Chain A
Amino acid sequence: MPAAGQTLRKIIAQSQKELLADWIQTQLGATTLRSDLMKESELRDQSREFLALLQAAVESGNTQTDGASWAPVRDFLARVSRSRAMQGFSPAETATFVLSIKQPLFARLRAEFGGDAQGLADEIWSTTDLLDKLGLLTVESFVKSREELIQRQQREMMELSTPVVQLWENILALPLIGTLDSERTQVVMESLLQKIVDTGASIAIIDITGVPTVDTLVAQHLLKTVAAARLMGADCIISGIRPQIAQTIVHLGVNLSDVTTKASLADAFSIALKRTQAKLPQQFGATT
């Protein structure tokens, strides 16, 4: 009886062409085919390349897919999954690419072994094991590339969502949109403080109209930002507090009494103007 993997090697070496044709046929007939996302020629190319790489890997005699001889196969599958993730395939559809080779392959194994049920079962088991590992690999790299995409978008959103705008001489506005977590607070704080240095602003209006919920943590983050701005010599006004949020803040026992708060950005702006203009003549008088 041949050793496990021996017959697989033989089949792939001898009937690669037929196997490839059958496999592509299977893939083209499957319900998971996404002809809207991918051209048939691309599928053919990928199938051919995979089979060639698989043959090279199987030839090495190593059945451990994490071995060095399987590196080209792993790289290829990672590349395929990444491109499919970008094209909008689902994880199942991506994994089916590898798993669909089972059917034509097993049909050949059956023919090869004939009546030897014992040998057939052994060979099928080792082949299934191998292909399942490869299938899992595709899913894993699929998920990984999706995660990278999500992280990149998160980062971009973070940068986009913290604009610091100058409303007037010495007055900055910081319209916050979305949930405030500690990471975002850090970004907000940094960009606000940098802008204070750049513009020499003395008043910063933090508008929280776009912040959906305020809990103790968010309130603490806000107070931290206010404290940091104060250290840089800028006063903060918090505006855009909605009625529900005012209620929540009081119920939570958050103390905002040290900070000027206004219901709307317009109110905050008008008081900021009043404060800076009241100060300006004195300042000029003092420095000259």
Chain B
Amino acid sequence: MEKIPILKMGRFLLVTIQVDMHDQLALQLQEDLTARIVAARARGVLIDISSLEVVDSFIGRMISNIAAMARVLDAETVVVGIQPAVAITLVELGLSLEGVRTALNVDRGMALLHERLADEQR
């Protein structure tokens, strides 16, 4: 069965979505990710969707859900690598991912997470 890999980088988890999402895969990802956040005591989740060319309301909702779940577990979610066409589609669908932080690429997203962690430790 196909699975979306979750990589651990220090206190953060990195998820790269490269295949077409469907219900089963999304549920699996939610389960795996929440389990990993707890197990790794992760403080941040980085979701890279730069290879997604097409999005629909399902994926939008899924990302919002994951972000909400991660927040409950005290981890911040940053979505990175949204393509221009994808951004336009999401906005037109009325899904502007409120409450989810966004960044241009993985570098920027990581910087954002580090910044947040540094702020807290200060």
Q: Of A197, A231, A283, which contacts B111 at CB under 8 A?
A: A283
With a CB–CB cut-off of 8 A, which chain A residues contact B114? 286-287
Does B118 lie within 8 Å of A282, measured CB to CB? yes
A119 CB within 8 Å of chain B = no
Among B92, B104, B110, the residue within 8 A (CB) of A232 is: B104
Closest to B82 in A: A231
Residues on A with C-beta less than 8 A from B118 are 282, 286
Name the A residues within 8 Å of B82 (CB-CB): 231-233
Chain A residues positioned under 8 Å from B87 (CB to CB): 193, 228-229, 231-232
Scan B95-113; emit 1 where CB is below 8 A from any A CB, else 0: 0110000111101111100
A76 to B111, CA, bound (A): 67
In the bound complex, how far is the Cα of B108 from the Cα of A196, in angstroms?
Answer: 13
Please measure, in the bound complex, the distance between the C-alpha atom of A286 and the C-alpha atom of B103, giving whole angstroms: 15
Most buried by A among B91, B92, B111: B91
The 6 tightest CB contacts between A and B, nearest first, are A193-B84, A286-B114, A233-B103, A227-B96, A233-B104, A231-B87
What are 23 A-B residue pairs whose CB atoms fall within 8 Å in the complex?
A196-B84, A197-B84, A197-B104, A200-B104, A200-B108, A228-B84, A228-B90, A228-B91, A230-B96, A231-B82, A231-B87, A231-B91, A232-B87, A232-B102, A232-B104, A233-B80, A233-B103, A233-B104, A234-B104, A286-B111, A287-B110, A287-B111, A287-B114
